[in-house]
Amino acid sequence: MSKFDMVEVEVTYLHQTDSAILVNITGNLQGGVWLPKSQIEWDDNHYPRGTILTISAPEWLVEKEGLI
């Protein structure tokens, strides 16, 4: 698998702005990492805080942010 391959990751949705979403993988509603919307594929909706989502993102990005 190259560092440019997309991987699917289950995350907890926390918040979003026009350009990024805040997620984490702990299920905790505190903390988290910002992922640029330009780098990920997801169902771009405003979800309630704590919703579990599956996103597709470059492997290098989710590794860098500690999501896998």
Segment 33-56, tens digit of pLDDT: 999 999 999 988 888 999 999 999
Contact in structure between 17 and 68 (CB atoms under 8 Å): no
Read off the pTM.
0.85
Q: Is residue 17 part of a domain?
A: yes
Q: Is residue 29 part of a domain?
A: yes
Q: Is residue 49 part of a domain?
A: yes
How many structural domains are present in the chain? 1
Average model confidence (pLDDT) for the chain? 89
Which residue segment(s) compose the domain that 51 sits in? 6-64
Contact in structure between 16 and 46 (CB atoms under 8 Å): yes
Q: Is residue 1 part of a domain?
A: no
